[in-house]
Amino acid sequence: MTSFSVIIPALNEEAGIAGCVAAVRALDPAVEVIVADGGSADRTAELAAAAGALVVRGPRGRGPQCNAGAARATGEALIFLHADTRLPAEAFPLLRQILADPSIQAAKFRLSFDSGDWLLAIAARLMWPDSLLTSYGDQGIVIRRELFAELGGFPDWPLFEDVRLFELARARTDIYVVPAEVVTSARRFEANGVIPQLLHDLWLWLQYVAGVSPHEIARSYTFQTS
């Protein structure tokens, strides 16, 4: 039976990190939960440890933090989960059934938001299939530990590190779409407006596919993106 390590990169997430850890542990107390802290100035690390997570520290940045967490993971499959995303209730039974097939090496969940906004609901539904445009870290990244190591982990990029990992994995295997929805926070859209945030995200993506360095893209944006 496949064992799992859930790796949660976090930075100044004291308001929600304990709830995130508790939500994973409630689904399956046997699952290893690792919070990869990037140098929080608040009580993120303390609260994560109190909630039952193993806390590791890594260089600030989602990719390096995830890599630091993966280096300490013992599970056969890694799940990279954002601190503001919740797994579906059936996540682990489904994943154990799916990963019983050795040909399935990487997966993601369907996306939904904790918002009743109809436009966000449509946007989330359009993100369900796997493609360069539709697969991101806020959908949860599931990958066998051996494949993750072979791919060299996440790049040390300020953004699009998740897109790149999916690209590398996609070159080796199909990305399986788990038939269940994660629920992720709509806080970016609430802070910036749904349409402006969607257009902003599309503009960033167009720059990425045009070959602009993620470091240069990161210097050019001003929206809240976490």
Would you give per-residue pLDDT tens digits along the chain (226 residues)? 789 999 999 999 999 999 999 999 999 999 999 999 999 999 999 999 999 999 999 899 999 999 999 999 999 999 999 999 999 999 999 999 999 999 999 999 999 999 999 999 999 999 999 999 999 999 999 999 999 999 999 999 989 999 999 999 999 999 999 999 999 999 999 999 999 999 999 999 999 999 999 999 988 765 544 4
Whether 213 is in a domain gets the answer no
Burial 135-148 (b: 16+ CB within 10 A, else e): bbbbbbbbbbbebb
Structure tokens at 162: 């998740």
pLDDT at 169: 98
Q: Is residue 9 part of a domain?
A: yes
Phi, psi (deg, nearest 5) at residue 14: -60, -25
The pLDDT score that the predictor gives to residue 170 is 98
- What is the reported pLDDT for 225? 45
Residue 219 lies in a domain: no
* 222 domain residue, yes or no: no
Residue 194 lies in a domain: no
**161: domain range?**
4-187
The domain that holds 49 is classified in CATH as: 3.90.550.10
Q: Which amino acid appears at position 169 of this protein?
A: A
Does 192 reside within a domain? no
> What's this model's pTM, rounded to 2 decimal places?
0.94
Domain count, the chain: 1
